[in-house]
Structure 1
Amino acid sequence: MEKAGFVYIMASRRNGTIYLGVTSDLPKRVWEHRNDVIGGFTRKYGCHLLVWYEAYDSIDVARQRELQMKEWKRAWKVREIEGINPDWEDLYDRIALP
């Protein structure tokens, strides 16, 4: 059975720095970003808010979507975020396990 996948966007604040990623375990990966467990872009720029995500039945399809979106202009990504999350609220509580 193939793993499910998620494409997600983390942000530093509303209209701030954004990071686009892919994972098979969204709650775990977002927790790692929020707690600066892994060095890199999100730690450097303080991208701790989960502002957008999409779920896929296949991690391979999620990776394809991520690669497609990485080619997008920032304005397109912002429109995608604001289409489901106009206030750039942190969505972590909606996906975090109890």
Structure 2
Amino acid sequence: MPKRVYHNYWVYILTNKPRGTLYIGVTGGIDDRMERHIKKEGSKFTAKYNLKRLVYYEEFQYIFDAIAREKQLKNWHREWKINLIESENPDWANLWKPLGF
């Protein structure tokens, strides 16, 4: 099997409602990860607070960059995170579409 030259990684933010509980994660497969969150298998925290709405994401080529960004965002004040989301997604729309749609 040939080695991949380029791989995608994502840092993402989930919520249950506009300005609700926020969850920041990193993944190498956004579709699979979102399917697991929808089924409440993604993490105990997201299952407990019913976090299924993808409101923000960033794509990276290198996992080290994605992890660094995730850590940076997790250290931000809540209002900064809300401002980031609203700068790209002012209506807090669910940005994830299931595969095949």
State the TM-score, normalizing by the size of structure 2. 0.88
Measure how far apart 1:39 and its partner are.
4.1
Q: How does 1:64-75 map to 2 (within 5 A)?
A: 64-75=68-79
Q: How does 1:41-80 map to 2 (within 5 A)?
A: 41-80=45-84
The structure having more radius of gyration, on CA atoms, is: 2
Higher percent of residues as helix? 1
1: distance between equivalents of 2:72 and 2:27? 15
1:34 aligns with 38
| Letter of the structure 2 residue corresponding to residue 83 of structure 1 | S
Count the aligned residue pairs. Answer: 96
2: distance between equivalents of 1:5 and 1:86? 24
3-state secondary structure, aligned to 1:92: coil
State the TM-score, normalizing by the size of structure 1. 0.91
Contact persistence 2:55–2:85 (CA under 8 A): yes
Contact persistence 1:5–1:60 (CA under 8 A): no
2:90 aligns with 86
Aligned-residue Cα RMSD (Å) equals 1.2
2: distance between equivalents of 1:90 and 1:38? 17
Measure how far apart 1:4 and its partner are.
2.3
1:97 aligns with 99
Stretches of structure 1 lacking an aligned partner (at least 5 in a row) = none
1:12-42 alpha-carbon deviations (Å, 9 max, x no partner): 1111101000001011111111121244100
Runs of 4+ in 1 over 3 A off after TM superposition: none
Stretches of structure 2 lacking an aligned partner (at least 5 in a row) = none
Taking structure 1 as reference, are residues 24 and 39 closer, same or farther at Cα in structure 2, changes over 3 Å only?
closer
Contact persistence 1:2–1:59 (CA under 8 A): no
